[in-house]
Amino acid sequence: MSRRFRFRVLGSGSTGNATLVEAGRTRVLIDAGLGPRILAERLQDAGVDPASVDVVLLSHEHNDHAKGAVAFTKKWGPRIACSLGTGRVLGLAAEKIPGWDALEPGAALAVGEVVIEAVPLPHDAAQPLAFVVRHAGRAFGHATDFGKWTKPLVDAFRPCDALLVESNYDPGMLKAGPYPWSLKERILSPHGHISNADVGRFLADGLGEACRRVVLAHLSQQNNHPELAQQVAEQALSRRGRTEVALHVLAANGGDAWHELEAPAPEPARPREQLRLF
């Protein structure tokens, strides 16, 4: 089994989200919020044959996460996996796609060399999910589009070696910005989105000891700046003395480079027997 485990953001933000996870010989696309042609191009730019994707995981049905899923799977052949609620809203049963699997929150799905765990999220969608992808003793956690940190999510993320998390808005910018009040209320609600400050609180109080890499994604173009998100997260990590954690912030709508999950630390060698000198 190849131990390679890495991920690459192909799109982030309201214009379309997609992240490729490569673990051993298995390729998992998390969300397909870009058109099928752009998705295929971005995969090819990353040196990945679109036909080699094994499964498309959908976090929820919103357009910026699911827009390209059906057309992509019809053209390139992977199955879709998502919650029953998401599958129903997208009408997957009626689509002539290669097939889809319903992910039960809390249950695990094995695909090739990975095991995928689904975690329920609070967001204004039918049945939204976060994911933990496990391979060769390591784990990658992915959560965008959620209104607050819940215990099941923090618990599921605790053993993860790397995380991709949304850092959607700066509360001051959102409140002073041009959005209608109803939309501001939706974003601020426990079923809306996570702010920079919410991310900071998690990094300070909930981040597991194993985590070495955090990517902040799905930043609002209107209500956030990458520098602001970075500053809040950096301060939270340094307050906890977690300077070993590599932090990476994605500009709205940006793609990205590969992020590698480090190989697990070797078992500590048994201390050699003390030389008896006297």
Q: Which residues pair with 59 in a beta bridge?
A: none
Nearer to Zn ion, 145 or 170 (CB): 145
Alpha carbon 183 to chain centroid, angstroms: 24
CB of 191 to Zn ion, least distance (A): 10
CB of 166 to Zn ion, least distance (A): 8
CB atoms within 10 A of CB 238: 13
Q: 32 and 60 in contact (C-beta within 8 Å)?
A: no
Nearer to Zn ion, 89 or 173 (CB): 89
> Of 61-69, 102-110, 131-139, 238-246, which segment contacts Zn ion by CB under 5 A?
61-69
List phi, psi (to 5°) of 114. -120, 160
CB of 145 to Zn ion, least distance (A): 4
List all residues 6 or more positions away from 56 whose beta carbon is below 8 Å from its beta carbon: 29, 31, 32, 69, 72, 73, 78, 79, 80, 81
Query: Coil, helix or strand for 273?
Result: coil
Q: 189 and 147 in contact (C-beta within 8 Å)?
A: yes
> Of 54-62, 78-86, 152-160, 235-243, which segment contacts Zn ion by CB under 5 A?
54-62
Residues from 142 through 201 that contact Zn ion (CB under 5 A) = 145
CB atoms within 10 A of CB 114: 24
**Residues touching Zn ion: how many (CB under 5 A)?**
3
Nearer to Zn ion, 192 or 200 (CB): 192
CB of 63 to Zn ion, least distance (A): 8
Q: Which of 8, 27, 42, 62 binds Zn ion (CB under 5 A)?
A: 62
Nearer to Zn ion, 182 or 274 (CB): 182
How far is residue 72's CA from residue 50's CA, in Å, rounded to a whole number?
Answer: 9
Q: Which of 59, 109, 99, 53 shows the shortest CA–CA distance to 76? A: 53
CB of 151 to Zn ion, least distance (A): 21
Q: Which of 22, 54, 61, 64 binds Zn ion (CB under 5 A)?
A: 64
Nearer to Zn ion, 62 or 184 (CB): 62
Q: Is 117 in the site for Zn ion (CB under 5 A)?
A: no
CB of 125 to Zn ion, least distance (A): 6
Residues that bind Zn ion (CB under 5 A): 62, 64, 145
